[in-house]
Amino acid sequence: MGGKYVYRGICGIILTAIYSGSFLWLWWSFVSENNTTGNLLGYGNLGMALGIYLAMIVLLLKSLAGYQFGVHRMTRTIAGQIVSILIADAAEVFVSMAVTGHFRLFFEFLWRYVALLVVQSMITLVFSVNAIRLYQKIFPSLRMLEIYGNHDNVLCEKIESRPDKYNIIEKIPYPENGEGLEAELARYDAVVVNDLPAEEKNKVLKLCFDMNKRVYFTPKLSDIIVRGAEELNIFDTPLYLCRNMGIPLWERWIKRCSDIAISLLMLIVLSPVFLITAIAIKVCDGGPVFYKQERVTVNGRKFWILKFRSMIVNAEDEGAIPAGDKDDRITKVGHVIRSCRIDELPQFINILKGEMSVVGPRPERVEFVEKYTQEIPEFTFRYKVRGGLTGYAQVYGKYNTTPLDKLKMDLTYIMNYTPLLDVQIVFETLKILFVKESTEGFSEEQIRELQEEKIHDR
């Protein structure tokens, strides 16, 4: 397994060298002709310029999984890399003006960094596609054993959707009294523990730990809560403390101040997008531009969420039904604004009013909350924080991710919250705009499941 980390490390070093080297060439060529301070060609100033860019690109690539060659899907990895250089090059326009001391050079720097972004993006595509393909040839998929419980689910189908990484060879129930399990585990590279009762799961986990064997399993809600626990070293016995208060008060204050600043800025900067979208919707069918929908936010409080209307005016005359992959209720303009997430932009008004946050669990419709809560009473755990424009479940899940899985992701966000996690999720949101699978709608089968299934997992 160590060879995979070495390979990713080498690829990461090469990619970082390509980005920083191309920046250094651009910066050198500019200051050679425009040494405005007389010191820009000194080793100290060149090193400072390179160091700033290098720090930005490394932090962004680590945050957006740009170094994870062969881990995620190819499109997701490359999207993370391109978003990283997009943010770094955009920031460098202003850093360069500050270093030179001439803000009148904005457009001079802008066209240079746009050109740099284009060149870096082309190199990224060529390098990363080939690096990931080579990774898949060198490192074959893991040979896996599934140990399943009594509840049917689609976990293995999801795992098998990545044949480049995982290959489930055999599926067995947990053997009576665990007899012969060690010999069975020894034949495989990794194990999938699929919905086993707690006692049996614990036995498998301990056995795999003893055998240095990889284990994949989906967490229960209690597992996620424990992950956010604080370790107390008071006695000579390990003790964990789960405060269970949601986000601490001082972090809530920082989060609210950030929400106000970001929503005001975005409403000003995106005003041309608002105007163009409003005109397009009005021209398309003459109906209203905005659509109001009652949703649920922090502490179960109800509010009216704002959206650009993407469906026909009478789309929900027969009740609330999730949009399908090829839903004929979606207008022509709606298909465009939904795929680009433009339909969600009016929610910056909700954020400014304090009804939502930039990052948080996605607010659900009142009807769906009532339905999901009947099936999963713990669904109310999401309402320890304000609902968000984007969130953990939005960037790591899909539009059609099941309610239980969304709950688990949102609870992971709440239990592990830091302001830096919000920053990471905002960057990840930019990345998923390039990844089609993140905007997939519900299939007809999934819609029926949402109406009929009774989820048992707690």
> Which tens digits make up the pLDDT trace of 75-97?
889 999 999 999 999 999 998 88
Rounded to whole angstroms, the Cα distance separating 18 from 268 reads 36
Rounded to whole angstroms, the Cα distance separating 374 from 453 reads 11
Comparing 97 with 22, which gets the higher pLDDT?
A: 22
Comparing 454 with 202, which gets the higher pLDDT?
A: 202
Tell whether 232 is covered by a domain.
Answer: no
Rounded to whole angstroms, the Cα distance separating 268 from 21 reads 36
How confident is residue 265, by pLDDT bands cut at 50, 70 and 90? Answer: very high
Beta-carbon contacts of 317 under 8 Å, excluding residues fewer than 6 positions away, are none
Q: Residue 170 is part of a domain; what is its CATH number? A: 3.40.50
Per the listing, tokens 């969600």 go with 344
C-beta of residue 276 within 8 angstroms of C-beta of residue 335: no
| Last residue in a domain, options 110, 138, 166 | 138
**How high is the pLDDT of residue 447?**
47
Residues 273 and 418 in one domain: yes
- Determine phi and psi for 249, rounding to 5 degrees: -60, -45
Rounded to whole angstroms, the Cα distance separating 302 from 357 reads 15
Beta-strand pair 230-232/302-308: unpaired
C-beta of residue 97 within 8 angstroms of C-beta of residue 125: no
Nearest to 252 by CA among 350, 385, 362: 385
Rounded to whole angstroms, the Cα distance separating 429 from 58 reads 19
Residues 363 and 295 in one domain: yes
Tell whether 228 is covered by a domain.
Answer: no
Per the listing, tokens 């990471």 go with 424
**How high is the pLDDT of residue 436?**
58
In percent, the amount of the chain with pLDDT more than 90 equals 54
How confident is residue 456, by pLDDT bands cut at 50, 70 and 90? Answer: very low
Residues 283 and 189 in one domain: no
Tell whether 274 is covered by a domain.
Answer: yes
Strands (E), 163-250: 166-173, 190-194, 214-217, 230-232, 239-241
C-beta of residue 413 within 8 angstroms of C-beta of residue 384: no
Beta-strand pair 302-308/290-296: antiparallel
Q: How many independent structural domains does the chain possess?
A: 3
Tell me the average pLDDT across 363-378: 91
**How high is the pLDDT of residue 318?**
60
The DSSP 8-state label assigned to residue 389 in this structure reads: E
Rounded to whole angstroms, the Cα distance separating 266 from 429 reads 15
Tell me the average pLDDT across 105-118: 91
Per the listing, tokens 């008004």 go with 349
Domain membership of residue 167 as a residue range: 142-218
| Last residue in a domain, options 114, 138, 162 | 138
Residues 118 and 201 in one domain: no
Rounded to whole angstroms, the Cα distance separating 233 from 244 reads 19
> Considering the chain, what is the average pLDDT of its residues?
87
Residues 133 and 172 in one domain: no
The DSSP 8-state label assigned to residue 321 in this structure reads: -
Widest pairwise Cα distance in the chain:
79
Residues 134 and 146 in one domain: no
Residues 309 and 343 in one domain: yes
**How high is the pLDDT of residue 49?**
87
Rounded to whole angstroms, the Cα distance separating 68 from 61 reads 9
Residues 134 and 158 in one domain: no
Residues 104 and 155 in one domain: no
Beta-carbon contacts of 205 under 8 Å, excluding residues fewer than 6 positions away, are 193, 215, 217
Tell whether 7 is covered by a domain.
Answer: yes
Bridge partners of 346, per DSSP, are none
Residues 277 and 364 in one domain: yes
Rounded to whole angstroms, the Cα distance separating 303 from 306 reads 10
Rounded to whole angstroms, the Cα distance separating 47 from 52 reads 9
pTM score of the predicted model:
0.81
C-beta of residue 187 within 8 angstroms of C-beta of residue 141: no
| Cα torsion 308, 314, 319, 324: sign | negative
How confident is residue 179, by pLDDT bands cut at 50, 70 and 90? Answer: confident
Residues 320 and 441 in one domain: yes
Three-state SS at 421? helix
Tell me the average pLDDT across 21-43: 79
- Determine phi and psi for 230, rounding to 5 degrees: -100, 135
**How high is the pLDDT of residue 454?**
42
pLDDT over 50 (residue 47): yes
Tell me the average pLDDT across 91-116: 87
Instruction: Read off the amino acid at residue 122.
Output: M
Residues 56 and 148 in one domain: no
